Every structure is written in structure tokens, then in C-alpha cells.
Structure 1
Amino acid sequence: MTWIKATFIGMILLGILVISAFFIWLAPVGAGYTAKIMCSAIFVNGLPSNRALEEDVLADNNPALSLITANVDLRHQTVSAHAFGFRKRIAVYRPNLGCTLSDDPARIEQLRTTSPLLRPIPAQPLRTASVPGNIDRRAFSTILADAMDEPGTNASRRSRAIVVLHRGKVIAERYAPGITASTPLPGWSMTKSVFNALLGRMQQEHMLPGVDGPVLINEWQSQLNDPRSVITYDQLLHMSSGLAFDESYWNPLSDVVQMLFVEPAAAGFAVARPLEHRPGTVFAYNSGATNILSAAMRNISGSSQSYQRIPFDLLFRPLGIGNAVIETDQDGYFIGSSFMHATARDWAKIGQLFLQDGVWNDERLLPAGWVDYSVTPAPAAPNGIYGAHWWLELPGARDSDGNLRDDGPPVPDDAFFALGHDGQSISIIPSKDLVIVRLGLTRDRDAFDLRRFVGSIAALFPDIVARNGDTTVEVESARQVAE
């Protein structure tokens, strides 16, 4: 009987431990994640509340999230979430800034009354064109249809939008039910590439001297002999700052999860990370780097009002992007690592700006050489996979042994990419004059083979071998030669 009693007591203690762990560690993450994702899906993306919960929050996700209760306040444009009445988090929507997480009632009231006042941004619609006559239109349509389709009986791919630009014009676009060309959608880590563009714009406007100098972070420069004070903008852009940061999304206690969904100040959390390696020596992709750059932008800009106008005045206005937002933490710092929303066409404009070497409507927006700098492999990046907040290689499907499958058309060597969580991507292929945007809610990496999708489209288009103003000279693709 003694062992039965011991077993029973052990099970009780284990149960107490599990419940305690849930309320101490998991509940804050679950409540913060649920409130933030639902708020953005409803008030920024314009999705119905039930879809925001069932698809954006719960689909393919941790079952612990089903223990979180969410309440939507349409009148005050907030979403609150909690675990059995505990660990309550609230996300507040504000025009031009999207949704912000907080658990401080006084700060929530303050957030409701603070939003930047902006002059309307004149629209610059992208021009449209037919698929070029020398392209296999049936094959092209088949690739797009397959990308929007589901691979099995249960939805797992969840492609939401596809836009293809050729020579700067929309030649194809597809949208999932309930999503339109005017629906802003989250880019997640594609926001990092946008922050690259913002820093380039600041340099072009003489707000930032260059990327080789130490990043302006008050907490680092104010402390005598702080080893972090020598970290440069270049090292942060190249993900080689040397700061300790855990980017494990599967771990609720990791730095990235805590920073995005628990900590009240994302930028402050990132700035406080200790140095782990000598700056510039080790490549470690992490979201903290971009939020440190965001904090530096705030210090350079001089005031919170000027800072919060930077994306609109320096980038969105010149490109005619009228309904994009970059969301902030409760201190007003842009969460540049993860939280920009824009339409598929507007994400395509970001790609087209880089395809055109930083020139838009005959105006140079990015410094000469900035795009080349952005797509030059980071010195510490393995196998040249990463540049300056732009990816130089695409992930692909893997076989049963975990090896990368290489059974599809190759992606051109000059291509580079903005990539984000849940399958977001901008693929830029200068040699084909193509920009391909794909947005979705794909949590199963095997549900959509981005490498094959991009390679298959690229294979249909001839290479551009010369450019003279608006005139291009092309050579036949291997497919066309074979035919």
C-alpha cells in the first residue's frame, strides 16, 4: 500500500507542477499571443472574429492555446485574453499603428488616445499587363492554381495571396476567399527587410551617416566600458552583433517569444541582452537585432512623433503605400522584427524598389550601392545564405532523411528574398525582371515548397541580358529552346 500512496502523491505533485508551469510560463505567452494575433487579424487585416480565432490563432497550433479565452470589444477596438481569469493581456488597436499589447490599465488608456496624425498618402496603383506572349500561359496558370490549392483533405497550405510582377507590372494575382487586393496581411520577418529599406532611406536623407559606426543605443554608450557600445549598424544588419538571443519559436521561454508576446517593451528587452561573442565573428539570425535597430532609429529621430512618421514619410509615401502599418510595443517602439502589415501589392512594391536598385519614379530613394550591399553575403553567414536583412537562399522541401530535395527547376543565382513566419515571402529575381509575393498561413513547412514554386515560375521567363532604359533584350529560356 505504501507504493500506491507514494504513486498517488507523486501524481498529485506532478499535476501541481504542470498547472503551476502553465500559469507561470505558458499562460502569459498564450494570452499575449492570442490577444495580439486576434487584434491584428480583426482590426488591421479586416477578418471576421471567428476566422481570426479558429485560423490565425488555433490552426495547427499548440493545444494549450485552446485553454485561453479571448474577448473582442468592437466598440473600443481591443482584444483581451486570459487563462481562467488569470494572466490577462490586452491588445489595443490604433489607426496607423495597428495593435499593441499591454497589461497595464493606465498604459492601455494612454494608448487609446495616442496615434500619429498623418497626411493622406496619394495612391500609386501598380500598372497591370497581360502575361507575355512568349510565356507558356497554361503552365503559368497551373503553377498559380496549385499554389492556392490544398495538398490534402485538411487545410495546411492556406495560401492567402500571390502577386507576380514582371517588368514592374502585375501580370498575375490570386487571393483566398475573404482576402482581396486591398487586404493588409502580416509579413512577420519580412518586416526586417523593410527596416533595411528604412535605414537606407535615412542614410539617403542624411539622417544616418553610415552603417560602419557604432549603433546609437543610450543604455550602451552611457555605461563605461560597455562591450556592446562598439556594435555597429552593419553587424546588426548582418546578424552578427554577438548578443545572446534565443530565436526558438517552439520554446515559450525563448527570447523571441518573450520579447514579442510577454515583455512590455520589445526594444528594451532586446537592448538588455548580454554580449556572448565578439561582434562581427558569429552569425546568429535573431529578431532582437532588428528591434535594437528600431531603438537606434528612435534615438536618431529626436522625438517619438518624428520617429513614428519615419516609415510613412520616408518609404510608404514615396511608394504610394497607403494602408500599411508597423506595430509598436507599449513604449511606442516599432517592432521591426515582425509586425508589419501590408497588401500583397504593397509588399510587391518593396520588392520592386530593390529590383530597381532603390530607384522609384526616377527618384533615387536608396543610396547608390545600397542594394548591392544588402545582397552581398554577410561575412559570418554560413554558405552565403544571408545578406543585410535579406535572405540569399530559399528553404525547400526535404526528403525522409532530412536532405533538401532538388527535384524542381533551380532558382536563379541572382535571386534574393524577404522571408517571414507562416510562409510569407518576397522573391526578387533581377535576371528575369520578376518579383513574386506569396502570403499565407502555412505552419507545416512541408505543405508548401517555396523553392519549387519560385523556381517553376522563373523557368518560364527568359533571362534579361541587357537593359537600356525601359527596353530589355531577352534570350530564350531553356524550356523554350527545347520546344
Structure 2
Amino acid sequence: MQWIKAIFIGLILIGLSVLAVFFIWLAPVGAAYSAKVMCSAIFVNGLTSTRAREIDVLADNNPLLSLITTNVDLRNQAVSAHAFGFRKRFAIYRPNLGCTLADSPEHIAQLRNSTPVMTPVEPRPLLTTSLPADVDRRVLNSILFDAMDEPGLRPERRTRAVVILHDGKVVAERYAAGITAETPLPGWSMTKSVFNAILGRMRFEGMISDLQEPVLINEWQAEPGDPRATINYDELLRMRSGLEFDESYANPLSDVVQMLFIEPAAAGFAVSKPLENTPGSEFSYNSGASNILSAAIRNLSGSRSTYLSRPTELLFRPLGMSSAVIETDPDGYFVASSFMHASARDWAKIGQLFLQDGVWNGERLLPEGWVGYSTSPAAEDPNGLYGAHWWIDLPGSRNEDGSPRTDVPPLPEDAFFALGHDGQSLTVIPSRNVVVVRFGVTRNRDAFDLRKFIADLSTVFPEKSDRQASPADSSGNTTAEVNGG
């Protein structure tokens, strides 16, 4: 009987331990994630509360998140979340800054009182046009149908938007029910590529003199002999800072999850990480690098108001991206790794800017050579997958020795990509004069094959001649609905 009693007591202790782990470590993550994602989905993306919870939060019935209770305050534009009444977290919406996490009603009031006033961006819609004569409309429509189709009984692909630009104009687009050409959509890690563009603008305007110079991080420079003080912009852009960082989204206690949903300062958390390798020596993709760059931009900007206006004044206003919003952490730093929202058409403008070598409407916005730098690997990169906050090949396309796989569909050699969580992608194919944006809530990676999708599209649009790509129109003229898609 003693052994039965011992087993019974052991099971009780294990159960109590599991509950303790849940309430101490996991519940705060689940509550913060639920509050933040729902807040953005409702008040930034304009989705219904039911859709925000059932799809954006619970798309694959995550057992942890299903235990979280959420409450939406439409009047005050806020969402609260908790687990059985414990570990409550809040997220509030603020104009021009989207949603931000908060710990208490007092914190909410503090954030609201510190919301800056910004001049709205004048929208400049992209022109639309019919498909080129040498593009087979039926084949293209079939590819788009497959991208939007849900082949199984249970939706897993959940494609929300596809937009295709050719010669800088919209030639095809598709949207899921409830999503329109004006709906801002989250790019997640596509935000990293946008911060590449912001840094390029700062370099062009003389705010950064050399990418090889150390980033301006007060904590690193304040301590004499801190080896992190040598880390430069290039090493952060190429994910070669040498800093320790765990980028595992499946682990609620990983660095990236704690940084995005628990720590009050995403940038401060990333800055505090110790060195694991010599800066510049090894590639290690991590979101902390992007938020360190956000902190550097803040330090270079002088005032808080100037910092918060940087993305708008340097990038969004010149491109007419009126839907674009980059959200901040509770301390007021842009979450450069993950939290930008924009309509699919506005996201496509980023790709078009890079396709045009940093020139927009005849005006150079990025330094000459910036696009080439951003889309080339570091000299010591054995796989050649990553440039400077842009992917130059899709993950999974190389063998372990770095050689290209022959069992996957070939892509144009000059294609490059901005990629994000849940299957977000922005693809630029200069040899076809094509930009492709795809958004969804795709948590099963096998549900949508981005490589096949881009490979199929590449066969539809023929390679361009020696003529240059046509600049995208940003005059603000309204145009007819897209033809052929």
C-alpha cells in the first residue's frame, strides 16, 4: 500500500508543479500574446473580435492559448487577457502607433498620455493595368486560385491576400473574405526588411556615415572594455553580431518570445544579451539584432518625437504608404523585428522600391549600391541564404554542404525575399519586373508551398528585355479595378 500512496503523492506533486509552471511562466506569455495579437487584429487590421481570437490567436487550437480568457473593450480600444483571473495583461491601441502591451490600467493611462501627434500620410495608390499580352491569364488565375484554395476539410492555408506588381503596377490581386486592398496586415519578420530600408534612408541622408562603424548603444559604450561595443551596423544587419539569442517560437520561455511579449523593453532586452561568438564570425538569425538597430536609431535621433517620426518621414511619406504602422514596446521603442502592419499594396511598394534600386518617381531614396549590398551574402557565408535583413534564397533550398537542392522547383537567381511568421512573404524578381506579396495565417508550413508558388509565377512572367523597370506611380490618382486578377 505504501507504494500506491507514494505514486499518488508523486502524481499530486507533478500536477502542482505543472500548475506552478503554467501560472508563473506560461500564463503571462499566453495572456500577453493573446491581448497583443487580438488588439492589433481588431484595432489595426479591422477584423471582428471573433475572427481575431479564433483565427489570429487560436488558428491551430494551441492548448495553452485556449486556456486564456480575453475581453475586448471597443470603447477604449483595448484588450485584456488572463488565465483563470491570474496574470492579467493588457494591450491598447493608439493612433499611428498601433497596439502596445501594458501591465495595468495605470500603465494604460500613462501610454495614452504619451501618444504623439503625427501628420497623416497622404495615400498614393499604385496604378493598376491589364496583364501583358505574353502572360497567359488562365495559367495565372489557376496559380492564384491554388494559393487561395483550401484543399482539406480543415482550413490550414488561410491565405488572406496576394498582390502582384509588374512594371510597378498592380496586374493581379486576390483577397479572402473580409480583407480588402485597404486592410493593414501584419508582416511579422518582414518588418526587418523595412528597417533595412529605414537605415538605408538614414545612410543616404548622412545620419549614418559608415556601416562598419560601431552602433551607438549607451549600455555598451558606458562600460570600458565591453567587447559588444565593437558590434557594427553591418554585423547586426547580416545577423552576425555574435550575441547569444534563442529564436525558438515554439518555446514560450525562449528569448524571442520573452522579448516580444514579456519584457517591457524589447530593445533593452536584446541589448543586455552577452556575446556568444566573436562579432562577424558566425551567422545566427535572431530578432534581437533588429531591435538593437531600433535602439541605435533612437540614440541617433535625439528626441523621442524625432525617433517616432523616422519611419513615416523617411519612408512611408515618400512612398505614400498611408496604411503603414510600426508598433512599439511598452518603453516606446519600435519593435523592428516583428510589429509592422500595412496593406498588401503598401507592402508591395517596399518591394518595388528595391526592384528599382532605391529610386522612386525619379528620386533616389536609398544610396547607390544599397540594394546590391542588402541582397548579397556576407563573404564568409557558406550557404548564401541571407543578405542584410533580406533573404536571398528561401530556407530549405540548400543541402547541408550549402549546394542548391535539385529536388525543389528552381527560382530565378536574382529573386530575393522578406519573410515573416505565419507565412507572410514579399518576393522581388528583378529579371521579371515582378513583385509578389502573399499574406496568411499559415501555421502548418506544409499547407502552403511558397517556393512552388513563386516558381510557378516565374514561368508565367517572361524575363524582361534590357529596358529598365518602369517607376511606380505615386501621384495619388485613383484607377480602375485590376484587370486579369
- Aligned 8 A contact 1:31 1:82 in 2: yes
Q: Name the SS for the 2:383 alignment partner.
A: helix
- Aligned 8 A contact 2:78 2:91 in 1: yes
The answer as to 2:249 corresponding to 1:254 is no
What residue in structure 1 maps to residue 20 of structure 2? Answer: 20
Rounded to whole Å, the distance in 2 between the matches of 1:468 and 1:299 is 38
What residue in structure 2 maps to residue 298 of structure 1? Answer: 298
What residue in structure 2 maps to residue 238 of structure 1? Answer: 238
What residue in structure 2 maps to residue 276 of structure 1? Answer: 276
- Aligned 8 A contact 1:243 1:277 in 2: yes
What residue in structure 2 maps to residue 86 of structure 1? Answer: 86
1:382-421 to structure 2, matched below 5 A, reads 382-395=382-395, 409-421=409-421
Partner amino acid, structure 2, of 1:169: K
Partner amino acid, structure 1, of 2:23: F
CA drift at 1:328: 0.2
- Aligned 8 A contact 2:168 2:469 in 1: no
**Measured at CA, do residues 20 and 382 of structure 1 come closer, stay the same or move farther in structure 2, by a change above 3 Å?**
farther
What residue in structure 2 maps to residue 45 of structure 1? Answer: 45
Partner amino acid, structure 1, of 2:38: M
1:152-191 to structure 2, matched below 5 A, reads 152-191=152-191
- Aligned 8 A contact 1:416 1:427 in 2: yes
Rounded to whole Å, the distance in 2 between the matches of 1:381 and 1:96 is 38
**Measured at CA, do residues 350 and 387 of structure 1 come closer, stay the same or move farther in structure 2, by a change above 3 Å?**
same
- Aligned 8 A contact 1:237 1:289 in 2: yes
What residue in structure 2 maps to residue 463 of structure 1? Answer: 463
- Aligned 8 A contact 2:397 2:408 in 1: no
What residue in structure 2 maps to residue 426 of structure 1? Answer: 426
TM-score for the superposition, normalised by structure 1: 0.94
What residue in structure 2 maps to residue 361 of structure 1? Answer: 361
Rounded to whole Å, the distance in 1 between the matches of 2:23 and 2:379 is 43
CA drift at 1:116: 2.5
**Measured at CA, do residues 298 and 344 of structure 1 come closer, stay the same or move farther in structure 2, by a change above 3 Å?**
same
What residue in structure 2 maps to residue 308 of structure 1? Answer: 308
**Measured at CA, do residues 397 and 85 of structure 1 come closer, stay the same or move farther in structure 2, by a change above 3 Å?**
farther
What residue in structure 2 maps to residue 110 of structure 1? Answer: 110
CA drift at 1:468: 5.1
**Measured at CA, do residues 405 and 143 of structure 1 come closer, stay the same or move farther in structure 2, by a change above 3 Å?**
farther
Cα RMSD between the aligned structures?
A: 1.6
Partner amino acid, structure 2, of 1:131: L
Q: Name the SS for the 2:452 alignment partner.
A: helix
CA drift at 1:264: 1.1
CA drift at 1:53: 0.4
Q: Name the SS for the 1:428 alignment partner.
A: strand
In structure 2, the gaps of 5 or more residues are 399-403, 472-485
CA drift at 1:298: 0.2
Rounded to whole Å, the distance in 2 between the matches of 1:47 and 1:161 is 14
- Aligned 8 A contact 2:298 2:307 in 1: yes
What residue in structure 2 maps to residue 132 of structure 1? Answer: 132
**Measured at CA, do residues 26 and 341 of structure 1 come closer, stay the same or move farther in structure 2, by a change above 3 Å?**
same
> Where does structure 1 differ by over 4 angstroms across 4 or more consecutive aligned residues?
404-409, 468-471
1:186-201 to structure 2, matched below 5 A, reads 186-201=186-201
What residue in structure 2 maps to residue 62 of structure 1? Answer: 62
Q: Deviations over 1:136-170 (max 9, x none)?
A: 11011000011001121100000000000000000
Partner amino acid, structure 2, of 1:273: K
Rounded to whole Å, the distance in 1 between the matches of 2:142 and 2:396 is 20
Rounded to whole Å, the distance in 2 between the matches of 1:347 and 1:382 is 30
Q: Name the SS for the 2:300 alignment partner.
A: helix
Q: Deviations over 1:320-378 (max 9, x none)?
A: 00121000001110000000000000000000000000000101000011000000112
Q: Deviations over 1:416-470 (max 9, x none)?
A: 0000000000000000000000000000000000000001001111112412575
What residue in structure 1 maps to residue 228 of structure 2? Answer: 228
CA drift at 1:114: 2.5
What residue in structure 1 maps to residue 483 of structure 2? Answer: none
Rounded to whole Å, the distance in 1 between the matches of 2:438 and 2:393 is 16
Rounded to whole Å, the distance in 2 between the matches of 1:233 and 1:213 is 7
CA drift at 1:85: 1.1
